[in-house]
Chain A
Amino acid sequence: MADVALPARASAPITTEAAPTRWILTAFTIGFLALFLLAPLIVVAVEAFSRGWEEYLASLVEPDALHSILLTLFVAVIVVPINAAFGLIAAWCIAKFDFGGKNLLITLIYLPFSVSPVVAGLVFVLLFGAQGVFGEWLAAHDVQIVFAVPGIVLATLFVTFPFVAREVIPLMQSQGTAEEEAALTLGASGFTAFRTVTLPSIKWALLAGVLLTNARSMGEFGAVSVVSGHIRGVTNTIPLQVEILYNEYAIAAAFALASLLALLALVTLGLKTLLEKRQGVGPHVG
């Protein structure tokens, strides 16, 4: 008897919480979010425009700032397609095949999540820097990786490695292999099956992964900071340029550039929410 009554009594208070308690909890949550998420966004916007529109635009087209914007876009244009392709291939291997060392591979793919970006950056310096493992060979062949754009691309690739795979793998695993097998029995080649069956059924997850990869590759600071060498107008991406401006007390200019990153974050978040809605309804759910 007591055994039966116990769980009921234990769960009862959750649904019968007194109104004041609910109010306090809700107010606390909203207050917390407002303070730590909303307030910074507002501050960025206010500071960016503190000297007016013209000053805002001027600080964006200032040569070093403009170069940092272009470099950031350049890096993203290289990194996003490579990591989208890689994530897709990795997800395909993991979800559709069984092989030895699969768990090790999954752990490796997720490694960049658990490694501090600074460490990731240092690794590339130790590998490709002047005193690094490949340093002499690279110097002899006149190839500059560290403190140059290739290093920034490599570090960004490393940091954004898992984003597409993380979005796509769970979906592929839950969908199984039956649809691909059906396509094969109907005469489709492996590639046709991938193109006409697999890809369409994961496209929204893939797109979400691409968005996150893009946001992170544009916003990455730690790893890029280590390998870039902070050469103005040459190896500074937007986040690095923001830091330099801030350190030089060019507050409005720093916030103007920062506002671009904040905007990127908001757009990414909005699009991702939209994608998740698409995934949740309509013909995409079997």
Chain B
Amino acid sequence: MSVEIAANLAIAQEAAAERTRSDFGEPHGIAVRGLTKSYGALTILDRIDLDIAPGELLALLGPSGSGKTTLLRLLAGLDSPESGSIHLGGLDASDLTVQERRVGFVFQSYALFRHLTVFDNIAYGLAIRPRKTRPSREAIRTRVTKLLEMMKLPGLEKRYPSQLSGGQRQRIALARALAIEPRVLLLDEPFGALDAKVRKDLRKWLPDIHHRTGLTTVFVTHDQGEAMEVSDRVAILNGGRIEQIGPPADIRERPATEFVRAFLE
């Protein structure tokens, strides 16, 4: 009995130690005001206001064409808005280039560098830094090894992306995004390209990673079941506007609009 308690204690301590070791700093909140984006005559995002609390796990949920991926790309700085503002942890993001924003972005197709090994993929964001700010070779190796352990994929360093399964690729893409110690973590359709079994694993795994990094995390999905199960709050988008935002239970109990009610059925 006492052995079991001691073992449990050890596990708890290890988990706590891991949390401090992961060390992504204080999480940054995100504040979006009047964000508008259109392509020609087509309005993709229409005056979006959105506040995301530091350390929150938020899902952007909506049908295709609702503007959710565009919103994510604007947060990352991959596209620029027509009007409106984005603040990342008190910094005005419109002053920051995509490089300076330092967001962790996991692409829907993962966008791993096909000519680089898993190790070099994860190390990329550190290895390309100018000499003054680049970590030492050993520091990079330590970081990559730690991230691979965190993703439960040790020993894959020398593989190429083409030699990995879909789920493995996604984890490597996530490890690569985390390697630069991002201000926030953004995931585009993380459930999208995976088979049913891995999708199910990801439902447990995504909140776990979020918990361990403590990062403010935003992910895009069109699957309401996954959004509802995984996230602290869900923002439901339709036609470039947020129809409703709140904890999953609230949305389920009190859908704000007819669209939300229909979409959740």
Contact = CB atoms under 8 A, between A and B. Distances in A.
Interface of A: 178-179, 181-189, 192, 196-197, 200-201, 282-286
Contact of A185 (B98, B114, B117): B98
B115 A178 contact: no
B109 A201 contact: no
A242 B130 CA distance: 55
B41 interface: no
Contact of B180 (A178, A186, A189, A197): A186
A285 B77 CA distance: 29
B125 A187 contact: yes
B229 to A, nearest CB: 27
A183 B162 contact: no
A179 B111 contact: yes
B129 A187 contact: yes
Contacts of B162: 283, 285-286
A183 B76 CA distance: 12
Interface string B74-110: 0011100000000000000000001101111101010
Contacts of B98: 184-185
Contacts of B180: 186-187
Given A283-B160, A283-B162, A185 B105 contact: yes
Contact of A284 (B103, B109, B114): B114
B113 interface: yes
Contacts of A283: 114-115, 117, 160-162
A178 B107 CA distance: 7
Contacts of A182: 105, 107, 111-113, 173, 176
Given A179-B113, A201-B114, A283-B114, A184 B78 contact: yes
21 contacts: A181-B105, A182-B105, A182-B112, A183-B113, A184-B78, A184-B98, A185-B77, A185-B99, A185-B104, A186-B180, A187-B102, A187-B180, A188-B125, A188-B128, A196-B124, A200-B116, A283-B117, A283-B161, A283-B162, A284-B115, A285-B162
A286 B173 CA distance: 14
A185 B173 CA distance: 12
A187 B111 contact: no
A97 to B, nearest CB: 14
Residue with the highest number of chain A CB atoms closer than 10 Å, among B99, B116, B129, B173 = B99
B159 to A, nearest CB: 9
Contacts of A179: 111-114
Given A178-B111, A187-B128, A201-B114, 11 more contacts: A178-B109, A179-B114, A181-B105, A182-B105, A183-B128, A185-B177, A186-B125, A186-B179, A187-B125, A188-B125, A196-B113
